[in-house]
Structure 1
Amino acid sequence: MVYRLETDKLNADSITPFIKAVQKRPQTRVLIVGGGSLMETFKEAVNSAGVSDNFEFTGYVAYSQLPDLYRRMKLFVAPVWKESFGQVSPFAMRMHVPVVGYDIGAIGEIVDDSSLLAPYGDADKLSDIIVDLLNDSARRTYIADRHSERAEAHFSIQAMIASYDQIYAETLAETKQ
């Protein structure tokens, strides 16, 4: 995942689906990108679960490093308790990294596939989704292609410009009438 490890979107339980995924699939490697007040809490939970060798915590990174970090991911997990409309999920999608997470806030709109979402707080269900996709490269590739197309069509700068252009055109047409 790529987030500020702060309580605005994450909480102490946000690490749990990752821990459960590693426990269910021991070869799983987890990359946690970001820093913040939850970093030590997450590290303690990982250590307590005995899976610290499977985790890499980068701390804060420069924005320019994000593409290389996304390229290392097979999945992007959004274990948030609140999500308005973050940019990290569409970034992952555009880089051919499927996004899964809790069905909260805008995540459902972003991924547009309920099979990739677990009810908020159901870490077992989210870890099952993670493990199932890590074990199914064909489905992951299909989702990655679909997500990349969706990100380009709906969340890119070009899509934003086209939407604003349409709004302005409609507004100007109304004022001319």
Structure 2
Amino acid sequence: MTADRWQEALFDVPPSPDENLISLPTLFTGRNNAFLYRANLRRILLQARPDVLHIEQEPVSLVMVQWLFAARGLPIKITFFIWENLARRLSPLQRWIEGLTLNQAKGCIAGNTEAANLLRAKGFSGKIVVSPILGIDSTKSHSEPRSGKGKFTVGFVGRLVREKGIRVLNEAVRGLDARLLAVGKGPESVNGEVTGGVRPEQVNDYLRQMDVLVLPSLTTPKWKEQFGRVLIEAMACGLPVIGSNSGAIPETIGDTGLIVPEGDVAALRAAIVRLKDDAKLRAELSRRGLERVKRWSHETIAKELMGLWQSI
């Protein structure tokens, strides 16, 4: 069951046709934690009679309350998903919703280790699996070699906003004999080529034009990087990666790339130059990345999720 349409940062997402998919109208469409379904959810559950209801929402979201009350009294075990890796101050309403969720849910899928640790600190006693859910299609060939011709290309994929470290990246690349390619859109300016918003299926075509992918995210009082999916997309293309130490970036990269202190222009510049000048290091990081990304294949993630649902 899903919304009949959704608004992502770069494009609208309609539901894909599927006989097992029920698309429902919503109020406040596109507001991640503040939308509601305009449907009788209890009737749907009574008809579907699931053993497990997985709610792909943060434990403070309004739609969580809808599902919790719809499932009340039914023999259904509930699980949910969480990205949140900051101990933010919650409103009284959010605290109430979170309390209901943590009390009724039997399991959780956490997108990163920090999120899992925060849940434990709040007293959640259910089973937790750490998995980003957003995996890589291993049936497709990703790792096509680049020609290596032309100017060394430093790439970025994502929203062009301040917290993604665009200004830091601009300064780090300034004056280098390198091309900066940014795939995305947003209010921040880029001292290089900008593609604008692209469809997800187009991202790999741009990644294959790059020699290194950089994710220089900056922590803010309300957000820090929760996974960095573009990092695993780059790894799957055999692309070396550089990331800041914001949030879950080091957890995602592991030993397959270079980590620099967030906001440190000199350190980021040095990392870019190091990879630019060392083809052997680029090749080694590419090899490690291709191996590491296997843990995020759709097949691997599906086994982890089924393991959770079968164990509760």
User: What are the equivalent positions in structure 2 for 1:87-98 lying under 5 Å apart?
Assistant: 87-98=229-240
The Cα RMSD (Å) is 1.9
Query: 2:180 matched to 1:30?
Result: yes
Q: Is the 8 A contact 2:240 2:286 kept in 1?
A: yes
Alignment of 1:11-90 (within 5 A): 11=165, 14-23=166-175, 25-26=176-177, 28-38=178-188, 42-43=189-190, 46=191, 55-81=192-218, 82-90=224-232
Give the drift of 1:121: 1.0
Is contact 1:103-1:117 (8 Å) kept?
yes
Whole-Å separation in 2 of the counterparts to 1:86 and 1:17 = 16
TM-score by length of 2: 0.46
Please show how residues 1-177 of structure 1 align to structure 2 within 5 Å.
Answer: 1-7=156-162, 9-11=163-165, 14-23=166-175, 25-26=176-177, 28-38=178-188, 42-43=189-190, 46=191, 55-81=192-218, 82-113=224-255, 116-153=258-295, 155-169=296-310, 171=311
Instruction: Give the ranges of 4+ consecutive aligned residues of structure 1 lying more than 2 Å apart after TM superposition.
Output: 14-22, 165-169
Tell me, yes or no, if the aligned pair for 1:21 and 1:128 is still in contact at 8 Å: no
State the shift of 1:105 in Å.
Answer: 0.7
Q: What's the offset of the Cα at 1:22?
A: 4.1
- SS, match of residue 36 in structure 1: coil
Q: Provide the secondary structure at the position in 1 that maps to 2:211.
A: coil
Q: 1:76 to 1:61 in 2, by over 3 A?
A: same
Counterpart amino acid of 2:300?
A
* 1:106 partner amino acid: A
- Unaligned runs of 5+ residues in structure 1 are 47-54, 173-177
Contact 2:168 2:264 in 1 (8 A): no
Query: Which structure has the larger Rg over C-alpha atoms?
Result: 2
The amino acid across from 1:121 in the alignment is: G
Q: Distance in 1 between matches of 2:280 and 2:226?
A: 31
Amino acid at match of 2:157: V
Measure the CA separation in 2 of the matches of 1:36 and 1:145. 33
Taking only the aligned residue pairs, the percentage that are identical comes to 31
Alignment deviations for residues 12-40 of structure 1 (CA, whole Å, 9 cap, x no partner): xx3333433342x32x11111100122xx
**Greater relative CO, 1 or 2 (CA 8 Å, sep 6+):** 1
Letter matched to residue 105 of structure 1: G
Find the residue that maps to 1:116 and give its secondary structure. strand
What displacement does 1:114 show?
Answer: 8.9
Q: Which has the higher strand share?
A: 2
Please say which of residues 140-149 and 59-68 is displaced more in the overlay.
59-68
> Which residue is 1:49 aligned to?
none
Give the CA deviation at 1:115.
6.8
Deviation at 1:64, TM superposition (A): 2.2
Decide whether the 8 Å contact of 2:242 with 2:259 is kept in 1. yes
Q: Relative to structure 1, is the Cα distance of residues 134 and 35 closer, same or farther in structure 2, using a 3 angstrom cutoff? A: same
